[in-house]
Each structure stands twice: as structure tokens, then as C-alpha cells.
């Protein structure tokens, strides 16, 4: 909202919801293409295009997941720092320290939860933590907004920087809605798979996005162009209440990271033939070394360049745009080429060309932001 303003922000959020629903529906309809179920995105790409496409989609997916996990480690560190500052604002502990603590917590959780199926009860906790954060942030933001003087809603920066910020924000909007893992999620849906997945998508992109829209609009209304990317840095209110919201955000970041890291864990477990009891010494040591190493690298890069918004822009540009908008439209043309009219084919090609241009522009913008922020802030910056 800050780089887009009221009109651009509201239109962008609603439009990205609608476009994401449309593109996701295209992929969902191809789940049983060719008379077989495709439980992984890369399997669908390989079936339709060949081994090269399989490898490219595989690389894009895991790059996207890595950048998502980087964002969650930074979020966990920011939440811990905000909690610490509530009680002791002595500047002894810096953001990189909190990112390291968040990384360690993620390692311990990854070791304790060997399989994605073991997350069942934790998904309930995840929902609870999300609701705690949302309710507290909305309540405190509303209070601050009603008590505050008129806010400044102007878009900050020069004309040139506003242009780049708008492009980056477009990638950020796409990243907020999509993961590039829809076929993997659809693989867990009961029959009829396609119809049930489309129902789930319709729910997700209508009622499901209301909390995110509410937090975004209310936060921007309350604080204007001074709104932080981590909204709890802006709110005022009882320390215990803000502390509860920060801890909820921290714990939610740990669980969410594990969800998005699970495909990487599963790939590594399969590649190295991990079988048998999760508590076996061999398997326990494997999780400690491999998963611990993966998160250690993630946490190190997160602390090195803790620019959360920049990483979201980069992830949206290099993987989310191609996986969510470009590839689904082309796949649909390939799968339905004999049934599509010239007008419908032209529509899908227009989407491919448009989103390809946006992806390139967003990629350049993300690199620019990272370069500028790297010059503005030193490595391991305390943001």
C-alpha cells in the first residue's frame, strides 16, 4: 500500500486476487491431463514439454520456496526483536542475533517434525497464531487510527523511485497470493479432484483473503505512508498484548517455514534413501545435518541482507510470475489447442506476453532495490 497509495493499493490487491484465482484455476483443470494425475508441478511440465521443462520448473519451485523461507526467517527475527524491545530497548541485541535465534528454533522444529503428515496438530496451532496476530493488529491499529491526527497518504520518493517501487509492489502482490505449488496441494484433495480444488480456490480467493485485506487496509489507514512492513512496529497499546502478537507471529513463522521447506526436505529424504523410524539414530543425524544445514544457510543469508520486501519482489519476479501466470496460460493452450477458438488463444497469448514483460521489469526492480539497500545499509544491518 505504501508504494501504491489508496487507489493503486486497493485496485492492485483486488486485481491480483482475481488474476491469481484465474491462473490457479487453469492449473487445477490440468491436474488429470492426459488421463493421469500430476501430483507435482514439475511432473505436469515434464509430461507436456519434456525433461528440460521438468528441470526448469523444479529449479523455479525450489528457488521460490527458498526465498519464501528466507522471508519467514526474517519475519521470525523481526517478531523476536519487536518482543525484546518491548521490555529492554538497550540496543545490545541486533536483528541478526534474533534471526539467528529464529533460525535455531526452525532447525529444532524441523528435526522434531520428520514428515509433513506429522504437522496435523500444528496446523491448528498455526491457524490460532494467525488469528491472534490478526485480531490484535486490527484492534490496536483501529485504536491508533481513531486517536491519531490526519495521516500522510502520499507516495514517498522521487518520480523515478516511485516507478520502480510500483513495479516492485506488483511482484510483491503476486508473491503474497501464490506459492507455485498448486499441483502438490491438489494431490491431497479428495475426489472429484478438479471440482473440489476449484471450490477451494474460489473460497481462498474470496472469503479466504478477507483477513489479509483487512489488516492491509486498516494498517495503511491508521499509519499512512509511515506504515512499517512489520505492522507491529507501528502499533501502540498494552505491552502484554503487543508481546502476545509478536510471539504469535514468531511461532507462526516457524510453522509456516516448515510447511514451505517440506518439499525440499522430502526431496532430500528421497534422494538419500531415508527410510525407517524417524527416531533411528541414522535418520535423526540426517535431519540434524541436512535440514540444519539448509536452515543455517537460509538464516545466514537472511541476516546478511535482511531486506524482506526486496526478497519478496525477487521471488515474485523470478519464480512466482512464471509459475503462476506465464506457464499456466501456455499449458492451457497446449492442452486445449484443438478446442480453443482464435479469440481464446489470443487471450492466453496476451497474458503470456504481458506477464513476461512484468516479470522482467519486476526482476530488474528487485535487483535495483537490493543494490540500493545494500549501499544504504551495511551487511548484517539492524533494521
Q: For the chain, which ranges sit under pLDDT 70? A: 306-313, 315-316, 377, 379, 381, 383
The pLDDT, as a whole number, for residue 260 is: 87
> What is the C-alpha separation between 218 and 355, in angstroms, rounded?
30
Element (H, E) at 255: helix 239-271
Instruction: Determine contact, residues 66/354, Cβ cutoff 8 Å.
Output: no
pLDDT at position 120 is: 79
For helices 239-271 and 120-147, the axis angle rounded to 10 degrees is 140
d(CA 352, CA 363): 16
Closest C-alpha to 257, from 65, 61, 57? 65
pLDDT at 128: 94
Long-range contacts of 15-19 (CB under 8 A, 24+ apart): 16/173, 16/174, 16/176, 16/177, 17/177, 17/205, 17/209, 18/205, 19/325
What's the pLDDT score for residue 311? 66
CA distance 250 to 300: 18
Counts for the chain of helices (H) and strands (E), in that order: 16, 0
pLDDT computed for residue 118 by the predictor: 78
Report the 10 Å Cβ neighbour count for 6. 14
Dist CA 257 CA 73 (whole Å) = 8
| Model pLDDT for residues 288-297, shown as the tens digit of each residue | 999 999 999 9
Q: Which residues lie closer than 8 Å to 12 by C-beta, 6 or more apart?
A: 4, 169, 170, 173
Element (H, E) at 147: helix 120-147
- Give me 277's grid cell: 523410524
Amino acid at each position: 500500500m505504501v508504494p501504491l497509495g489508496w487507489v493503486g493499493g486497493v485496485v492492485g490487491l483486488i486485481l491480483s486476487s482475481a488474476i491469481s484465482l484465474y491462473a490457479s484455476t487453469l492449473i487445477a483443470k490440468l491436474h488429470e491431463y492426459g488421463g493421469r494425475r500430476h501430483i507435482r508441478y514439475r511432473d505436469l511440465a515434464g509430461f507436456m514439454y519434456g525433461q528440460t521443462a521438468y528441470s526448469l520448473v523444479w529449479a523455479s519451485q525450489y528457488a521460490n520456496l527458498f526465498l519464501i523461507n528466507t522471508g519467514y526467517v526474517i519475519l521470525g527475527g523481526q517478531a523476536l526483536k519487536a518482543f525484546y524491545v518491548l521490555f529492554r530497548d538497550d540496543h545490545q541485541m541486533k536483528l541478526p542475533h534474533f534471526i539467528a535465534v529464529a533460525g535455531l528454533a526452525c532447525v529444532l522444529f524441523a528435526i522434531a517434525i520428520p514428515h509433513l503428515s506429522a504437522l496435523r496438530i500444528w496446523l491448528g496451532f498455526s491457524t490460532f497464531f494467525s488469528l491472534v496476530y490478526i485480531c490484535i493488529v486490527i484492534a490496536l491499529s483501529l485504536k491508533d487510527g481513531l486517536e491519531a491526527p490526519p495521516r500522510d497518504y502520499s507516495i514517498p520518493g522521487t518520480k523515478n523511485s516511485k516507478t520502480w517501487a510500483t513495479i516492485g509492489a506488483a511482484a510483491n502482490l503476486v508473491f503474497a497470493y501464490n506459492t507455485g505449488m498448486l499441483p502438490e496441494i491438489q494431490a491431497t484433495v479428495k475426489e472429484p479432484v478438479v471440482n473440489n480444488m476449484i471450490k477451494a480456490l474460489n473460497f481462498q480467493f474470496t472469503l479466504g483473503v478477507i483477513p489479509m485485506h483487512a489488516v492491509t487496509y486498516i494498517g495503511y489507514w491508521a499509519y499512512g505512508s509511515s506504515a512499517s512492513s512489520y505492522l507491529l512496529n507501528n502499533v501502540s497499546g498494552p505491552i502484554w498484548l503487543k508481546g502476545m502478537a509478536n510471539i504469535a507471529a514468531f511461532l507462526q513463522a516457524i510453522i509456516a517455514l516448515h510447511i514451505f521447506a517440506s518439499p525440499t526436505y522430502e526431496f532430500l529424504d528421497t534422494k538419500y534413501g531415508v527410510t525407517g523410524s524417524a527416531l533411528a539414530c541414522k535418520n535423526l543425524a540426517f535431519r540434524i545435518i541436512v535440514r540444519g544445514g539448509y536452515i543455517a544457510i537460509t538464516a545466514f543469508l537472511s541476516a546478511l541482507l535482511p531486506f524482506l520486501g526486496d526478497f519478496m519482489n525477487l521471488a515474485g519476479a523470478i519464480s512466482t510470475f512464471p509459475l503462476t501466470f506465464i506457464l499456466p496460460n501456455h499449458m492451457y493452450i497446449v492442452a486445449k489447442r484443438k478446442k480453443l477458438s482464435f479469440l481464446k488463444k489470443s487471450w492466453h497469448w496476451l497474458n503470456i506476453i504481458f506477464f513476461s514483460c512484468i516479470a522482467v521489469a519486476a526482476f530488474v526492480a528487485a535487483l535495483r532495490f537490493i543494490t540500493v539497500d545494500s549501499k544504504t545499509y551495511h551487511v548484517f544491518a539492524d533494521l
